[in-house]
């Protein structure tokens, strides 16, 4: 007589498969809890972590400046940033003017970049042709409004080694804020 499937053996096999499925389900749930926990921890740290902002040339001038998320605007940071951005725009010689203007444009808002790019590159060609160099010596910096910095200083233009123009001048640098901690130059104007 041929024996059919053994019901006890079949139910044992089914029980083993159910147990395996339970182990995989448990492993999946543990991994899901772990991934969610790590995601929540990462988001918490990103929101509450102190950010070190070290813009170009500021680090060498005065070291990094800590900006806490809860403090909002930081006058020292914006002042140093304005001086660094004006140095890119105003301190150049015939050998580096295009590079300096390009770096300034990289720090500019999209609107300012679109408005100024062609003019700055044309100015660079003219200054190179005339053999001009320029230096800005900032004397006083202060925050005058939300994301607006006033920088007073001396602007000197040279042809060769001879200073041909010396002007005491005040610039207003306005910033566009992005993502709560990044500032892009939105306007540079001469204060009358």
Quote the CA–CA distance of 144 and 164 in Å, as a whole number.
Answer: 31
Quote the CA–CA distance of 122 and 55 in Å, as a whole number.
Answer: 27
Q: 3-class DSSP state for residue 13? A: helix
Tens of pLDDT along the chain (192 residues) come to 555 555 555 567 777 788 888 889 999 999 999 999 999 999 888 777 766 666 666 555 665 555 555 445 567 888 888 999 999 999 999 888 899 999 888 888 888 889 988 898 899 889 889 889 999 999 999 988 888 999 999 999 988 888 888 999 999 999 888 776 678 888 888 887
pTM for the whole thing?
Answer: 0.63
Residue 132: give the domain boundaries. Answer: 72-190
Quote the CA–CA distance of 97 and 12 in Å, as a whole number.
Answer: 82
Joined together, the tokens standing for residue 156 give 């000197």
* Residue 102 placed within a domain: yes
3-state helix, strand, coil in the chain (%, to 5): 50, 30, 20
First CA to last CA distance, the chain: 112
pLDDT score, position 36? 96
Total domain count, the chain: 1
CATH number at residue 110: 3.10.450.230
* Residue 38 placed within a domain: no
* Residue 152 placed within a domain: yes
pLDDT score, position 39? 94
Opening angle at CA 113, ends 110 and 115, nearest 5: 110
Which candidate, 57, 104, 109, places its Cα nearest to that of 80?
A: 57
DSSP state letter for 69: T
pLDDT score, position 94? 87
Residue 68, Ramachandran bin (φ over 0: left; ψ between -120 and 50: alpha; else beta):
beta
* Residue 145 placed within a domain: yes
pLDDT score, position 65? 56
pLDDT score, position 30? 96
pLDDT score, position 107? 87
Helix H or strand E segment including 140: strand 132-145
* Residue 17 placed within a domain: no
* Residue 53 placed within a domain: no
pLDDT score, position 22? 87
* Residue 125 placed within a domain: yes
């Amino acid at each position: 007589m041929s024996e059919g499937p053994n019901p006890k053996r079949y139910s044992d096999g089914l029980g083993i498969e159910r147990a395996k499925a339970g182990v995989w389900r448990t492993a999946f749930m543990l991994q899901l809890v772990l991934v969610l926990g790590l995601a929540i921890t990462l988001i918490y740290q990103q929101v509450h972590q102190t950010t070190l902002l070290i813009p170009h040339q500021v680090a060498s001038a005065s070291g990094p400046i800590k900006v806490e998320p809860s403090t909002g605007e930081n006058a020292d940071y914006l002042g140093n940033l304005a001086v660094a951005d004006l140095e890119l725009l105003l301190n150049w010689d015939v050998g580096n003017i295009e590079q300096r203007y390009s770096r300034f444009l990289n720090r500019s808002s999209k609107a300012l970049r679109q408005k100024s790019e062609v003019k700055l590159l044309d100015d660079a060609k003219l200054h190179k042709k005339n053999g001009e160099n320029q230096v800005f010596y900032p004397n006083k910096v202060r925050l005058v409004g939300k994301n607006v910095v006033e920088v007073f200083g001396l602007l000197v233009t040279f042809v060769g080694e001879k200073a041909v123009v010396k002007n005491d001048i005040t610039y207003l640098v306005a910033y566009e804020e992005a993502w709560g901690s990044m500032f892009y130059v939105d306007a540079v104007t001469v204060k009358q």
